Chains A and B, each alone.
Chain A
Amino acid sequence: MSTHRRIFWLGMHKILRSTELPHLRAMGYEVFSPEYISPVYDQSAGLSPQYGQETTLPSHVFKKLLSYDFFYRKIDEDIAELLNSHFDAVIVTINPDWLLALLDAFKGPVIYRTYGQPYSLSDHFCAHGRWAALVTRPNFHVVPFAAESVEREQPWFRELCTEPVPYQIPDDVFEFEGNRSKNPRREIAVNIPNISNPYYSSTYHNFQRDFPDKFFRIYGPQREIPADPRIIGELSRDQFLQCLQDSAAFFYPYQDNVCYLPPIESMQLGRPVVYLPNSLLARFNDPTNPGAARTVEHARELCGRLAKGDARLAAEIVSAQEQVRRRYDRALVKPQFEQTIRRLLENPARPPSAEVRNRIISTREHRNDQAPLVVIPLHVDGLFHRIDGKPVALEGIPRVVEAVVDTLLEYTDANVVLSCTHGSQAVMFDFFKEHIDAGRVTLYAFGVDSVGSTAALNFERLRFVDYLSRIKENISSVFVPHYYLFPEMSLVSSSKTLYLPDYFPYLMPDEVFDASAEKDRINKAIGKMLSQLSDRILTNSQFTKGYLPDTGLVTVDKITKVIVAPLPFLGSKRADPLGEQGRKRIESALKGRRYIFYPTANRPNKKLSFFMRVLALLRLDYPDLCAVLTCDLNSVPEVAQTAANYHLQDALAMLPGATEDMMRWLYENTAALCLTSVAEGNFPPQVLEALNYGAPIVATRLPTITEIAKDKADRLLLCDPLDLTAFTRGVRCAIEGRQVVLKGQADLLSSLARWNSQQAFSTALSLAFPNLHFRATAHSDNRIPLRKGETRKRDAAIGRE
């Protein structure tokens, strides 16, 4: 056992100073603990002096470090030098800003110990522009205290995490157990400290509003005490524990992703704990726990019964909360802490998660640099999003790009370069992680975001062009996924394929699609320029190919460069079974009602005002019927107005940012997909999704549908555009004759299988990327081909190769 490692422990919490800090020293490490001399008030800070700690540091170093404020500020260079020259490793506790300052100063191994906080750590790091600093950091480990506390963190952050290591409640609680009173007071303990702090102030005012009962006692240190007789304020530790011990129960009013210790201490002291839904404490517990309040009213009822001495309820709760109490039991925590922390301190080596060099982000050390490259510009913010930390693509462009990338990687040996803005590099890294890890995809990250200085962004765009010009010998093709978002691609001399799935200003000349008619005109000019400078144009339907010459974007003599590639079924790759968060969102929006569904952006061609009229008419027959939409109603003001005119606000369940698993569930359970659009550039992906997920389809008879469905188009409930009677009749038919409708649709789906298969898409793409060699069948996996003598590390480790 090593006893000669010197650790810098950056923490100040009084609980940790009495638990993990002495434990580290007991493990044989010399641990330096700084004084908390920050002007930032924290009711949890341990203010006991640290000068008495044992140390082998030179006296002047020890004094200098003790007199330095390490919290909430940049660490000065001279102090950084001392850290680097005198410490083997650093453990940072709790605060992400302390960590960032420390990472800037200290070059050695760092352990970041987290205990749950009301916000997402990964969001915080990304918002501060520090994603790259963390993923490129070697010998950096995050040690969370519970798996549930990082479930909603972003994947790149979770990859930095070790196995969870719980933390213990202080030893004095265990010593207090014998003081259990036989007749608890008719009081319910609550802990809300520091009410002058905005976070706790909000908690207190919500509590005050929802829980006016006099039997509550509010504990916790206060700087200013409001005129509320229920506030006890700060007590000595013994007094506080005695109060918990003597209370009938403890009520936990927080509902965020954090679990403070007083309820756990109450559990250890044998008191029942009542809590509201959604908090980390609630997620620790089984949902059937009798202490789990479903609502505020339910919580008041439970607390009232316990305050009146309902011994049976108290016993049931205490029994059920045992599993949570054990998480913090020192007898169980200490061995886990010791095992993991010792391993990390003795053997801290861990390669960085990613490499960022000259704006290129990759994870694989040895890529096949000889492979042909396909470049896809995606440097626009807002294409990718996160929901509960997971990366999602909600818009058409990134979903199609994903399908193109997947196909290229499966059917060719090409590698792909995707550009991204500075702000979207983390989400795109997570979204394409599998391909990045396989060495097939790299990201080119802009130095700026698409918001901010136009000049700076424009210059970054030209630097990207410049980069592509420098590697043009390797570039097989540039796939431009939008007709006006990436005008600088016109400067790239490599072979270009422009994706042009539709051109709505031609189909609906009276509508304005961008901010103004002038902007639409400029967009068209850019589209025309890129069309002319591109070697090929990829579209998804013969219908669009047929009208493109009339738009002015493509001349008739160049129509042969337009290639039709029907889209495969998108989204299934990420459509996992409905997760807990998705289920809650859907339940909250639907409240058990039957619904029609149209997942789409609110654009003029979608005719959502007409959709509102259909819904209003249907509700005369089906009063409980509502509609699920995923858009912003106000983006076409007329739509919001129509909804208001028909008093439909309560009949609309808005689910913007629905994830693939939610989408799947919504399709599978809807009364009908109600596609009111009057113009689509290709076979509507919603129809394809509804066919695959078994949702009855009521839709406008669009040429892009009949072109593909042909003589089986009548398997769908197709209506003339904006025919109110036909649409409502169609939905009624879908509701009353669901099984018959679905049977007909299944027949259509089977006949479409060859048309929209992955193989068919690959064949079409081979025409759009003629410089690439497409295999007849897909790779069994999309990993980089091995060189002679090379083995895959992971597979080799488990004996596969």
Chain B
Amino acid sequence: MDASRRSAGVRRRRLEAQRQVVEAYDAILRRWPDPTGLNHFSRLAMDGTIDRATLMSDLYTSDEARARISHEAVPADPKERMIALSGIFAAAEDGRLEAIYTDEKDAARIGHIANEILSEDLGPTLVAYFDELGTLSK
């Protein structure tokens, strides 16, 4: 994501994101039907509700949320998979993927998710991703 897209109000949104993350955790813990939480968080991010990178990072550093993420829950639906992928893309875009990956506890899960949802050509996935973001002109 380039600087111009991020610059407007990014700090304010990050603070807002922190607050929403806490609420989102609650949502997962109390009522969200998707046990991974990953889809939910990513969907919020795709909606532009919160900053995805902050969200992903917070998600992965929350023991409680982490405990809720199971290996079996990688989405099968292509759209859901795209949403999940967006979380990983966002982490890479923000330079936080390595930190997540090198966390011993998270590495296995990230590796698992990556194996599940990165097993297809990256090119078309990225085209769809940027299309979804509305970055590309039609």
A interface residues, Cβ below 8 angstroms from B? 453-456, 458-459, 461-463, 465-470, 472, 484, 487-488, 490-493, 522-523, 525-526, 528-529, 532-533, 555
Within 8 Å CB of A525, what residues of B?
123-124, 127
Closest to A458 in B: B118
Kindly state the separation between the CA atoms of A533 and B89 in the bound complex, as whole angstroms. Answer: 16
- Residue tally, chain B, CB below 8 Å to A: 32
B interface residues, Cβ below 8 angstroms from A? 1-3, 6, 88-89, 91-98, 101, 111, 114-116, 118-124, 126-127, 130, 135-137
Is the beta-carbon distance between A463 and B92 smaller than 8 angstroms? yes
Please indicate which of the listed interface residues B101, B114, B135 has the most CB atoms of chain A within 10 Å of its own CB. Answer: B114
The answer to whether residues A493 and B114 also contact, given A462-B88, A526-B123 and a CB cut-off of 8 A, is no
Kindly state the separation between the CA atoms of A263 and B96 in the bound complex, as whole angstroms. Answer: 64
Is the beta-carbon distance between A490 and B114 smaller than 8 angstroms? no
Within 8 Å CB of B97, what residues of A?
462-463, 465-466
- Among A467, A470, A488, A532, point to the contact of B122 (Cβ < 8 A): A488
- Among B2, B95, B124, point to the contact of A470 (Cβ < 8 A): B95
Is the beta-carbon distance between B92 and A491 smaller than 8 angstroms? yes
Is the beta-carbon distance between A455 and B95 smaller than 8 angstroms? no
Within 8 Å CB of B6, what residues of A?
493
Is the beta-carbon distance between B130 and A490 smaller than 8 angstroms? yes
Please indicate which of the listed interface residues A465, A490, A525 has the most CB atoms of chain B within 10 Å of its own CB. Answer: A490
Closest to B131 in A: A529
Within 8 Å CB of A555, what residues of B?
137
- Among B119, B123, B126, B127, point to the contact of A455 (Cβ < 8 A): B119
| Sample of 13 A–B contacts (CB below 8 Å) | A454-B118, A454-B119, A455-B119, A458-B122, A462-B92, A469-B92, A487-B123, A487-B126, A488-B92, A490-B130, A491-B93, A492-B93, A522-B121
A-B contact count (CB 8 A): 97
The answer to whether residues A470 and B98 also contact, given A487-B122, A491-B89 and a CB cut-off of 8 A, is yes
Kindly state the separation between the CA atoms of A526 and B91 in the bound complex, as whole angstroms. Answer: 21
The answer to whether residues A466 and B126 also contact, given A454-B120, A454-B121, A459-B118 and a CB cut-off of 8 A, is no
Within 8 Å CB of A493, what residues of B?
1-3, 6, 93
Within 8 Å CB of A458, what residues of B?
114, 118-119, 122
Is the beta-carbon distance between B89 and A526 smaller than 8 angstroms? no
Kindly state the separation between the CA atoms of A495 and B68 in the bound complex, as whole angstroms. Answer: 39
| Interface SS of chain B | helix
Please indicate which of the listed interface residues A491, A525, A533 has the most CB atoms of chain B within 10 Å of its own CB. Answer: A491
Is the beta-carbon distance between B101 and A488 smaller than 8 angstroms? no
Closest to A485 in B: B123
The answer to whether residues A529 and B95 also contact, given A454-B119, A454-B120, A488-B122 and a CB cut-off of 8 A, is no
Within 8 Å CB of A463, what residues of B?
92, 97-98, 101
| Interface SS of chain A | helix
Please indicate which of the listed interface residues A459, A484, A523, A532 has the most CB atoms of chain B within 10 Å of its own CB. Answer: A459
Closest to A466 in B: B97
Is the beta-carbon distance between A526 and B98 smaller than 8 angstroms? no
Within 8 Å CB of B2, what residues of A?
493, 533
Is the beta-carbon distance between A459 and B136 smaller than 8 angstroms? no
Please indicate which of the listed interface residues B1, B3, B94, B116 has the most CB atoms of chain A within 10 Å of its own CB. Answer: B94
Is the beta-carbon distance between B118 and A491 smaller than 8 angstroms? no
- Among A453, A456, A529, A532, point to the contact of B126 (Cβ < 8 A): A529
Is the beta-carbon distance between A526 and B118 smaller than 8 angstroms? no
Is the beta-carbon distance between A459 and B137 smaller than 8 angstroms? no
Within 8 Å CB of B101, what residues of A?
463
Is the beta-carbon distance between A529 and B114 smaller than 8 angstroms? no
The answer to whether residues A472 and B137 also contact, given A488-B126, A491-B89 and a CB cut-off of 8 A, is no
Q: Which 4 pairs, one residue from A and one from B, show the smallest C-beta to C-beta distance?
A: A469-B95, A470-B95, A466-B97, A487-B123
Is the beta-carbon distance between A491 and B126 smaller than 8 angstroms? yes
Is the beta-carbon distance between A466 and B95 smaller than 8 angstroms? yes
- Among B88, B119, B130, point to the contact of A529 (Cβ < 8 A): B130
Kindly state the separation between the CA atoms of A528 and B123 in the bound complex, as whole angstroms. Answer: 11
Is the beta-carbon distance between B92 and A455 smaller than 8 angstroms? no
A462-B88, A488-B92, A525-B127 given; name 8 further pairs at CB < 8 Å: A455-B114, A455-B119, A461-B122, A463-B98, A465-B92, A466-B98, A491-B93, A526-B127
Is the beta-carbon distance between B136 and A529 smaller than 8 angstroms? yes
Kindly state the separation between the CA atoms of A529 and B133 in the bound complex, as whole angstroms. Answer: 12
Is the beta-carbon distance between B124 and A522 smaller than 8 angstroms? yes
Is the beta-carbon distance between A533 and B135 smaller than 8 angstroms? yes
- Among B94, B116, B126, point to the contact of A526 (Cβ < 8 A): B126
Kindly state the separation between the CA atoms of A522 and B135 in the bound complex, as whole angstroms. Answer: 18
